[in-house]
């Protein structure tokens, strides 16, 4: 019988793939893992340990941790006894953690590192509903309200001796409509809202994704996107587990490049920022090589372009096939090696993927399948597939999901993937889901004749110039970041008479340019204010946007001295620029660009 809940699905997988490696992490310099059988045992013991603490059906349990096996164990354990997981990004402030714990009414909180434990201990006096703190890593000497993660396992084993059938009964008592998570949005336009997702919401998305994405027990994944984000939780966690695949957790965002080579995954979910960084590094290395190496690189890229065009037509000549194999051996094999050598495809989500970058990877023989969705939609609405993909689009709808475009261009969706609502916020729920069940995404898009959806921008991000012209900044930004000189950018111009941009440059590329042109500088500030350096970036900006309408072209820009970061609250956890935050933070710099 087909599983109706995530925990029933998990139990089926444990029985079917018991001896297969489930989760892996780096221990003493080497990735080590344990079987699905062991995974199931740990989930059971931890779930019973929670039950021994009085956790019952409907309780909210918060989880503040980076990606690691204990996150996955905690998640399935919480769900197995009918409780609700309230995942919290480990990068947020203590005040944000306090808000979520208080709003959700969480009874327990599970934390990973000593630093996160300190954050929680610092706000305890403001959280009367919080009864216990469970911590994964050894920190300070525990107080009576604190428990080690390993102790909860032992409590579970002792609990089972007195309640032999408790776990099996609890799993059976979980219903498809029960809440499996309350995920709080980033709250850039106000207080965070808790998105309520049921077992049926996420399981329907898992099943829909499995029907169009090829994944099975032979696959392995490298997980680095935050598991508290709905994209990674569904695709890199529930979907992977449902197939009996192996999940390896990256040590950190900074080590992803190294971990790719160690784990050699067959599949991987990511956000566009990773591809942008890889692309930038490849182009930078190619341009830094000798004239002959540079010539070979661009010959290979040109060959890849011809090969892809011929492949679309279904007519690849023997000569072109030979040239492409040679290009792969001489050039593209290095990129394949960089991503582990075994990759079948990437799945990209969380932000728009620049079409040019997707095409670049495909010319090199690496397919990136871009998808689209929201936390409120569990999250996947559409995704490109190996059989049906178009770069620049986010693909066709997944089975069981409806999409339509409203008169004003907004994308609406309906189906089993749509959230139950916002926690304790019926007004916001009614504003987002209409009486006919259509969820208003806030994104502007178009559907082509082949059913492929194209997202142009967020409705609230649309720039309306003082001349009344509508501009989608994402389109321009995606062009600009293909420059080897540009790392990040944000286009500005709402109610202004022309567009400007904040540009975070690729500092290695600028320094290399300065060295090659005999430009001396004592620090980054002097480098960025050098007229010759500015003109080099300006030349790329003009070249990349020359096909756009005049009102869409960036007239002025400022080179920023440092990257936008999560730590400075300038990026979301999925590495999207927080436009409102950045605009307010650098208002003086922006206004200066509009002084004639």
Q: Please compute the mean of the pLDDT values over residues 73-80 and round it to a whole number.
A: 98
Q: Please compute the mean of the pLDDT values over residues 339-359 and round it to a whole number.
A: 94
What is the pLDDT, as a whole number, of residue 460? 85
**pLDDT category, 8, cuts 50, 70, 90?**
very high
At residue 67, the 3 state secondary structure works out as coil
| Sign of the CA dihedral running 306, 393, 571, 103 | negative
What is the pLDDT, as a whole number, of residue 566? 87
CA dihedral 473, 478, 479, 483 (to 10 degrees): 130
Determine contact, residues 564/504, Cβ cutoff 8 Å: yes
Domain boundaries, the chain: 6-174+213-266, 272-341+344-459, 462-592
> Which CATH number describes the domain made up of 272-341+344-459?
3.40.50.12780
| Sign of the CA dihedral running 414, 416, 419, 421 | positive
Distance CA 217, CA 241 (A): 9
Class of domain 462-592: alpha beta
Could you please report the per-residue DSSP string of 356-423? HHHHHHHHTT--EEEEEE-GGGSSEEEE--SSS--TTS-BSBPTT-EEEE-TTSEEEEESTTS-SEET
Pairing of strands 132-135, 108-111: parallel
pTM, to two decimals: 0.89
The per-residue pLDDT for range 276-313, each reduced to its tens digit, is 999 999 998 998 899 999 999 999 999 999 999 999 89
Instruction: Please enumerate in sequence order all residues whose Cβ is within 8 A of that of 160, keeping only pairs 6 or more positions apart, or say none.
Output: 44, 45, 48, 166, 167
Determine contact, residues 350/231, Cβ cutoff 8 Å: yes
| Pair of tokens at residue 529 | 């204010």
Task: Look over the chain and give the mean of its residue pLDDT values, rounded to a whole number.
Answer: 95
**pLDDT category, 53, cuts 50, 70, 90?**
very high
Distance CA 380, CA 377 (A): 6
| Pair of tokens at residue 549 | 């309408």
Describe the strand order of the beta sheet including 246-249 as a list of residue ranges. 30-35, 21-27, 246-249, 220-223, 267-270, 345-348, 368-373, 380-383
Give Cα separations from 315 to 101, 312, 371, 386, 390 (angstroms): 59, 8, 28, 19, 19
Distance CA 386, CA 347 (A): 11
Q: Please compute the mean of the pLDDT values over residues 200-216 and round it to a whole number.
A: 98
What is the pLDDT, as a whole number, of residue 390? 96
Distance CA 363, CA 348 (A): 17
Shared fold status for 6-174+213-266 and 272-341+344-459: yes
Residue 103: its H or E element: helix 94-104
Query: What are the φ/ψ torsions at residue 519 (nearest 5 degrees)?
Result: -90, 120
CA angle in degrees (0–180, nearest 5) for 253-257-258: 105
pLDDT above 70 covers a percentage of the chain that reads 98
Residue 411 CB neighbour total at 10 angstroms: 27
Give Cα separations from 322 to 294, 306, 317, 382, 540 (angstroms): 20, 12, 9, 36, 34
Q: Determine whether 269 is exposed, middle or buried from the number of CB atoms within 10 Å of its CB (0-12, 13-18, 19+).
A: buried
Nearest by Cα to 517 from 529, 533, 505: 533
Looking at residue 577, what DSSP letter applies?
A: B
Distance CA 329, CA 295 (A): 15
Determine contact, residues 100/192, Cβ cutoff 8 Å: yes
Q: Which residues pair with 453 in a beta bridge?
A: 395, 447
What is the pLDDT, as a whole number, of residue 187? 52
Q: Please compute the mean of the pLDDT values over residues 530-540 and round it to a whole number.
A: 96
**pLDDT category, 596, cuts 50, 70, 90?**
low
Instruction: Please enumerate in sequence order all residues whose Cβ is within 8 A of that of 130, keeping only pairs 6 or more positions apart, or say none.
Output: 101, 106, 107, 108, 109, 124
**pLDDT category, 188, cuts 50, 70, 90?**
very low
Q: What is the 3-state secondary structure (H, E, C) of 493-521?
A: CCCCCCEEEEEEECHHHHHHHHHHCCCCC
| CATH label, 6-174+213-266, candidates 3.90.1170.50, 3.40.50.12780, 1.10.150.120, 3.40.50.620 | 3.40.50.12780
Distance CA 208, CA 378 (A): 11
| Pair of tokens at residue 458 | 């967020």
Residue 548 CB neighbour total at 10 angstroms: 15
Nearest by Cα to 64 from 54, 53, 75, 79: 75
Q: Please compute the mean of the pLDDT values over residues 550-573 and round it to a whole number.
A: 93
């Amino acid at each position: 019988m087909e599983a109706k809940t995530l925990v029933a699905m998990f139990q089926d997988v444990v029985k079917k793939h018991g001896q297969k490696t489930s989760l892996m992490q780096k221990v003493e310099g080497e990735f080590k893992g344990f079987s699905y059988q062991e995974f199931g045992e740990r989930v059971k013991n931890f779930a019973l340990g929670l039950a021994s603490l009085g956790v019952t059906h409907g309780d909210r349990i918060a989880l503040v941790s980076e990606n690691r096996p204990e996150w996955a164990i905690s998640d399935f354990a919480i769900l197995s006894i009918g409780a609700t997981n309230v995942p919290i990004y480990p990068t947020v402030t203590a005040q944000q953690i306090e808000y979520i714990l208080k709003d959700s009414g969480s009874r327990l909180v599970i934390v990973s590192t000593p630093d996160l434990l300190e954050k929680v201990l610092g706000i305890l006096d403001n959280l009367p509903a919080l009864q216990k703190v469970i911590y994964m890593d050894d920190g300070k000497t525990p107080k009576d309200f604190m428990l080690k993660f390993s102790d909860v396992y032992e409590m579970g084993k002792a609990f089972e001796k007195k309640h032999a059938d408790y776990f099996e009964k609890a799993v059976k008592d979980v219903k498809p409509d029960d809440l499996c998570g309350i995920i709080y949005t980033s709250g850039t336009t106000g207080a965070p809202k808790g998105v309520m997702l049921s077992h049926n919401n996420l399981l329907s998305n898992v099943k829909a994704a499995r029907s169009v994405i090829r994944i099975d027990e032979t696959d392995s994944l490298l997980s680095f996107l935050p598991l508290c984000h709905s994209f990674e939780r569904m695709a890199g966690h529930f979907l992977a587990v449902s197939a009996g695949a192996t999940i390896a957790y990256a040590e950190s965002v900074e080590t992803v490049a190294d971990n790719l080579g160690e784990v050699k995954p067959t599949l991987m979910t990511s956000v566009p920022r990773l591809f942008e960084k890889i692309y930038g590094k490849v182009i930078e290395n190619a341009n830094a090589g000798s004239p002959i190496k540079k010539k070979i690189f661009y010959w290979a890229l040109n060959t890849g372009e011809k090969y892809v065009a011929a492949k679309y037509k279904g007519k690849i000549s023997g000569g072109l096939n030979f040239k492409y194999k040679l290009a792969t051996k001489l050039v593209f094999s290095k990129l394949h090696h960089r991503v582990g050598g075994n990759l079948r495809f990437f799945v990209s989500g969380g932000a728009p993927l620049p079409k040019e970058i997707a095409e670049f990877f495909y010319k090199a023989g690496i397919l990136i399948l871009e998808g689209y969705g929201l936390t409120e939609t569990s999250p996947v609405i559409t995704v490109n597939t190996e059989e049906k993909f178009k770069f620049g689009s986010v693909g066709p709808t997944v089975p069981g999901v409806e999409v339509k475009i409203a008169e004003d261009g907004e994308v609406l969706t309906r189906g089993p993937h749509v959230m139950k609502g916002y926690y304790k916020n019926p007004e916001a729920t009614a504003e987002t889901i209409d009486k006919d069940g259509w969820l208003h995404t806030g994104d502007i898009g178009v559907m082509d004749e082949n059913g492929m959806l194209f997202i142009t921008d967020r409705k609230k991000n649309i720039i309306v110039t003082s001349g009344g012209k509508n501009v989608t900044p994402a389109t321009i930004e995606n062009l600009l970041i293909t420059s080897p000189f540009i790392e990040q950018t944000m286009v500005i111009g709402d109610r202004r008479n022309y567009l400007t941009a904040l540009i975070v440059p690729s500092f290695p590329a600028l320094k290399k340019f300065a060295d090659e042109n005999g430009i001396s500088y004592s620090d980054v500030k002097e480098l960025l204010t050098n007229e010759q350096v500015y003109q080099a970036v300006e030349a790329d900006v003009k070249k990349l946007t020359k096909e756009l309408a005049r009102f869409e072209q960036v007239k002025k820009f400022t080179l920023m001295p440092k990257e936008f970061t999560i730590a400075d609250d300038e990026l979301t956890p999925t590495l999207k620029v927080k436009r409102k935050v950045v605009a307010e933070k650098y208002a003086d710099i922006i206004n200066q660009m509009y002084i004639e």
